């Protein structure tokens, strides 16, 4: 792993992501890119809003410049903290009307290997309807996203739960999950959730998961867990075994597809108080070993 992007809005919750990213960078010798997006205001004028008078334009540019200066000063203060001692850190800030789009654009620009975001877990109804920046980044990112909803007391990860149906799509992302686990020397549980609506025979699931282990030459514990919903099953099992992190794939569904077929990963991200590693099943393709070098 060479490059880690860490968006921050300087809130307490975003600092959790900074802490974990620093630990990860130190272990993997990756470079950190600390990134802030200052949200622009919307300005209206009595005349045509598309034609801004020169004095007004100067005022708007001055506001934007001050926002960026303020953000850079805060980022510089963070970089100088003991947390990032001995780590290569780059700073950047932008102003935008859309925070999540700016994060995604910047992740492509620097060709990051991973996005690490601190966020508030267990959102209320309003957050579910509106969606948070982290949820949008998870939904649309082509890069793996690690969401940190709370302060991690233990700097090490001992157990990771990889929740999947273990179809062909899972083969495309597990290599990333496996190599991520190696950084912490963590064990991985392969978890399949059975629900009443999506039920498979235990024998069939066990065979599929055994083939998965053989393919990757791993000896991960395989678990078939029954629950009413996949999201609940993933969270309940992770609590049962005191997992340190949950890894899951996402289809990155957009538009009406999300309303007719909700992505399980978004529900897990929204409700979990544990760190979640989300990898895009369709867009993420592992090329070479990004965990070396």
CATH code of residue 183: 3.40.50.12370
- Angle between helix 12-28 and 168-184 (nearest 10): 80
Residue with the two structure tokens 């590693």: 277
- The answer for residues whose C-beta is within 8 angstroms of residue 224's C-beta and 6 or more apart is 192, 194, 202, 205, 206, 209
Residue 155 lies in a domain: yes
**Cα separation, 117 vs 135, whole angstroms:** 10
Q: What's the N-to-C CA distance of the chain in angstroms?
A: 7
**Cα separation, 118 vs 23, whole angstroms:** 14
Residue 149 lies in a domain: yes
Torsion angles phi and psi, residue 34, rounded to 5: -85, 130
Q: Is the CB of residue 240 less than 8 Å from the CB of residue 189?
A: no
**pLDDT value at position 285?**
53
The number of distinct structural domains making up the chain is 1
**pLDDT value at position 226?**
94
Residue 286 lies in a domain: no
If we measure between CA atoms, which residue out of 282, 78, 278, 76 comes closest to residue 167? 282
Q: Is the CB of residue 95 less than 8 Å from the CB of residue 67?
A: yes
Q: Residues 58-71: pLDDT tens digits?
A: 455 677 778 888 99
Residue 292 lies in a domain: no
If we measure between CA atoms, which residue out of 144, 133, 129, 222 comes closest to residue 177? 144
- Give the domain extent around 215: 3-280
**pLDDT value at position 60?**
58
| DSSP bridge partners of 221 | 189
Ranges under pLDDT 50 in the chain = 43-47, 56-58, 121-131, 255-261, 286-293
**Cα separation, 73 vs 77, whole angstroms:** 6
Q: Is the CB of residue 209 less than 8 Å from the CB of residue 222?
A: yes
Residue 288 lies in a domain: no
Which phi-psi region, left, alpha or beta, contains residue 106 (left: φ > 0; alpha: ψ -120 to 50)? alpha
Q: With the CA atoms of 152, 156, 158 and 161 taken in that order, what torsion angle do they form, in degrees rounded to the nearest 10?
A: 50
Provide the pairing of β-strand 245-250 with 89-96: unpaired
pTM: 0.84
Q: Is the CB of residue 31 less than 8 Å from the CB of residue 3?
A: yes
User: How many contiguous H segments (helices) and E segments (strands) does the chain have?
Assistant: 10, 10
Residue 291 lies in a domain: no
Q: Is the CB of residue 197 less than 8 Å from the CB of residue 209?
A: no
Provide the pairing of β-strand 89-96 with 159-163: unpaired
Residue 285 lies in a domain: no
- The answer for residues whose C-beta is within 8 angstroms of residue 125's C-beta and 6 or more apart is none
Residue 289 lies in a domain: no
**Cα separation, 228 vs 249, whole angstroms:** 20
């Amino acid at each position: 792993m060479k490059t880690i992007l860490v968006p921050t809005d300087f809130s307490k919750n975003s600092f959790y992501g900074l802490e974990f990213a620093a630990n990860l960078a130190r272990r993997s010798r990756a470079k950190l890119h600390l990134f802030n997006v200052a949200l622009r205001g919307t300005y209206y004028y009595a005349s045509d809003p598309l034609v801004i008078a020169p004095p007004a334009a100067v005022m708007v540019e001055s506001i934007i410049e001050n926002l960026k200066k303020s953000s850079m000063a805060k980022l510089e203060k963070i970089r100088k903290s003991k947390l990032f001692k001995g780590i290569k850190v780059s700073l950047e800030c932008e102003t935008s009307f859309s925070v999540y789009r700016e994060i995604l654009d910047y992740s492509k620009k620097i060709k990051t290997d991973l996005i690490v975001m601190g966020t508030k877990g267990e959102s209320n109804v309003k957050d579910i309807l509106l969606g948070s920046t982290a949820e949008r980044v998870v939904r649309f990112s082509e890069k793996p996203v690690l969401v940190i909803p709370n302060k991690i007391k233990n700097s090490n990860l001992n157990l990771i739960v990889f929740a999947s149906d273990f179809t062909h799509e899972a083969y495309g992302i597990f290599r990333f999950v496996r190599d991520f686990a190696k950084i912490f020397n963590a064990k991985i549980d392969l978890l399949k959730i059975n629900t009443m609506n999506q039920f498979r025979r235990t024998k069939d699931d066990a065979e599929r998961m055994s083939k998965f282990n053989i393919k990757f030459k791993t000896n991960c514990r395989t678990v078939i867990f029954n629950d009413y919903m996949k999201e609940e099953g993933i969270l309940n099992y992770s609590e049962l075994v005191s997992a340190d992190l949950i890894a899951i794939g996402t289809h990155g569904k957009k538009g009406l597809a999300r309303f007719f077929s909700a992505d399980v990963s978004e529900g897990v991200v929204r409700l979990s108080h544990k760190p979640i590693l989300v990898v895009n099943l369709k867009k993420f393709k592992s090329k070479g070993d990004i965990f070396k070098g």
